[in-house]
Amino acid sequence: MSWMIYVLPLNRWNFFVLHPQGMNRLSGEKQWMGTWGIACYQGRTAGNNMAGVHVEYPGIIPQHVSPFFDWTYIQMGDVNRKGEKIQVVTDGNPFEGAFRLMVYDNDILAGVNLINCRDDIGEMKKAITQKAKWE
């Protein structure tokens, strides 16, 4: 389960309150996002702060990875984005190998649905996180 970390100063000690939600970096809204990766990142942030090293938790990116029979399905970012400058680009065929559905907002990668496409996932996550262009 992931946790939102609030740091409240109490004299010379910090008191940590954990909540099962995080700030969605794409929408700016609080959202429950229970994945081990996010929980570990938040745990490292809490541990550093308890050890006296100030570290801020930047928030979450919605993401999910599931094996489904012979497929690996990956969803990351905001694939339901609405607006005037939204563009949805698809590539491939899951029955013939790999498939990508990429959602762009004003030419900035906002979200992806991938089937059997693991090669560029790190760079895609970086582009979504940094609100950068992806080609």
If one compares 103 and 121, the residue with the highest pLDDT of the two is 103
pLDDT band at 6 (very low <50, low <70, confident <90, very high): very low
What the block records as the tokens of 128 is 């979504």
Match 């094996």 to its residue by tokens.
Answer: 67
What is the distance of C-alpha 1 from the center of its chain?
14
pTM (predicted TM-score) = 0.67
Residue 127 has pLDDT above 50, yes or no: yes
**What is the percent of the chain where pLDDT is above 70?**
73
Match 């790190």 to its residue by tokens.
Answer: 122
What is the distance of C-alpha 87 from the center of its chain?
20
63-129: what CATH class? alpha beta
Pairwise CA distance, residues 56 & 113, whole Å = 29
Domain extent listing, the chain: 4-50, 63-129
What is the β-pairing status of strands 30-31 and 13-19? unpaired
pLDDT band at 8 (very low <50, low <70, confident <90, very high): very low
Pairwise CA distance, residues 19 & 1, whole Å = 10
Neighbours of 52 (CB within 10 A): 7
Residue 85 has pLDDT above 90, yes or no: yes
